[in-house]
A and B are shown apart, each in its own frame.
Chain A
Amino acid sequence: QVQLVESGGGVVQPGKSLRLSCAASGFTFTYYHMHWVRQAPGKGLEWVAVISYDGSERHYTDSVKGRFTISRDNSKNTVSLEMTSLRPEDTAVFYCAREKSPIEGAGLDYWGQGTLVTVSS
């Protein structure tokens, strides 16, 4: 069965860096675009970044451009989010999610359990 397992969250000081990882299993990873979505405590969902199936395209929401980098390793079935210059407003649960393949339609059909990032001094 499809599984996405995030790791790497924790408490970090403002201005510091953190790297999140998402291990995928149960599907052909190289066929799918992968996303990161976050949710600040008590707030709504915010889309963060996407990487195409082959890593050739990467796009970000404006608030993280220049600070966050999404990457993937198709040999290890992992997708990562490198976060630098972290701010208190980056505090959130970060979810890794799979995008449906184009022939199946659209939408994020599988999600991880989330990993909490807390930016605080």
Chain B
Amino acid sequence: DIQMTQSPSSLSASVGDRVTITCQASQDISDSLNWYQQKPGKAPKLLIYDASNLETGVPSRFSGSGSGTDFTFTISSLQPEDFATYYCQQYHNLPLMYSFGQGTKLEIK
């Protein structure tokens, strides 16, 4: 099974900061990596799919990059509504399988 290592597990930042979260796969997953945001008591929301594609309706301050085993998620300028927990997720098509990273809780400094 492919293991995902997400870091950091928590992060304190201020409004306007640039924030980066990383996710590392235990083996090459090409660009099969998605990023989600989850706020307390709510379902996750897809932000980035296939490593670098912005989901429809998601603000352009969110971005993703990477390929193979190393991936990065960036918020270019933090907004108050961005304080949440973020998860990476890898997927495998044959067979269909998904797994999530451990999550990064982004808190207000």
B51 to chain A, nearest CB (A): 10
Which residues of chain B have C-beta atoms less than 8 A from A107's C-beta? 34, 46, 49-50, 55, 89, 91
What is the CA–CA distance of A95 and B87 in the complex, to the nearest angstrom? 15
Q: Quick one: closest B residue to A102, CB to CB? A: B93
Given contacts A44-B102, A50-B98, A100 and B49 within 8 Å (CB-CB):
yes
* Total residue contacts A-B, CB cutoff 8 A: 69
Residues of A within 8 A of B45 (CB): 111
**Secondary structure of the B side of the interface?**
strand
Which residues does B use to contact A, with CB under 8 Å? 1, 32, 34, 36, 38, 43-46, 49-50, 53, 55, 85, 87, 89, 91, 95-103
Chain A to chain B contacts (Cβ below 8 Å), 6 pairs: A47-B99, A59-B97, A62-B1, A106-B50, A108-B89, A108-B98
